[in-house]
């Protein structure tokens, strides 16, 4: 995902990342044996299209980069890996009451440390990676990691177990209109300076909200 940002535009990256909802639903039907529901598939598609409309409304013409096709393919691959990770989480931890989420993420962190730490040490000793970081910057990074990554991942994983991978993944598209509201709150609402971007933003926002609401209602009625 991060590598694709250096090759393609932020708009394309955001749009293609929302394909994770489509991949997740397909894997849920195939791996988790979830019953295919045309209404749910349509809601997933509406959310992905809505996210694309909101992103396009904020796109700039000079943002496209030379290796955009390669970046787009990497972003799609990232979306598929995310879908596979989400589906496997639901497959191997089917019952929320029989597992400790804190213990699970503790094992994930331990595995990452054991696998990645040797590479970090080698990169640091060879000068490829600089570890000369100001203490305040390091403290800020740790605080962000705890509240932005650890807490959000914990809540997301619980949502996967409680609601299912498709609902949890599609509901994440709500961050797109929320980011728009954040820009409006900060006074950066340049996307409403023209009619077409404003219309695209409004239609996309309502599409996302409608799709998220529909897929949650369908999941609730299926329980």
Separation of alpha carbons 38 and 138, rounded Å: 48
- Would the CA dihedral through 156, 161, 167, 170 be positive or negative? positive
In the 8-state DSSP scheme, what is residue 129? S
Q: What is the pLDDT along the chain (223 residues), one digit of tens a residue?
A: 667 767 766 666 777 777 888 899 999 999 988 888 899 899 888 888 887 777 666 554 445 555 567 777 888 888 899 899 889 888 887 666 667 777 888 888 888 889 988 888 888 788 777 766 777 887 888 888 777 778 888 888 888 888 888 888 888 887 777 776 776 777 666 555 667 777 877 788 788 888 888 888 888 777 6
Three-class SS of residue 137? helix
Q: Note the pTM of the prediction, 2 decimals.
A: 0.74
CA distance 141 to 143: 5
């Amino acid at each position: 995902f991060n590598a694709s940002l250096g090759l393609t535009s932020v708009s394309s990256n955001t749009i293609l990342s929302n394909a994770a909802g489509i991949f997740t639903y397909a894997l849920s039907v195939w791996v988790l044996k979830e019953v295919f529901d045309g209404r749910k598939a349509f809601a997933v598609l509406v959310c992905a299209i809505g996210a694309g409309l909101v992103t396009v409304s904020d796109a700039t013409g000079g943002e496209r980069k030379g290796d955009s096709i390669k970046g787009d393919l990497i972003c799609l691959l990232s979306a598929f890996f995310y879908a596979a990770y989400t589906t496997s989480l639901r497959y191997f931890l089917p019952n929320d009451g029989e597992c400790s989420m804190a213990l699970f993420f503790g094992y994930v962190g331990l595995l990452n440390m054991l696998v990645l730490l040797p590479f970090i040490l080698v990169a640091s000793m060879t000068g490829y990676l600089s570890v000369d970081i100001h203490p305040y910057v390091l403290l800020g990074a740790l605080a962000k990691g705890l509240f932005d990554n650890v807490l959000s991942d914990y809540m997301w994983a619980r949502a996967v177990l409680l609601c299912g991978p498709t609902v949890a993944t599609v509901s994440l598209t709500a961050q797109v209109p929320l980011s728009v509201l954040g820009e409006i709150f900060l006074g950066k609402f340049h996307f409403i300076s023209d009619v077409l971007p404003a219309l695209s933003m409004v239609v996309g926002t309502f599409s996302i909200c409608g799709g998220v609401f529909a897929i949650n209602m369908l999941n609730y009625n299926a329980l």
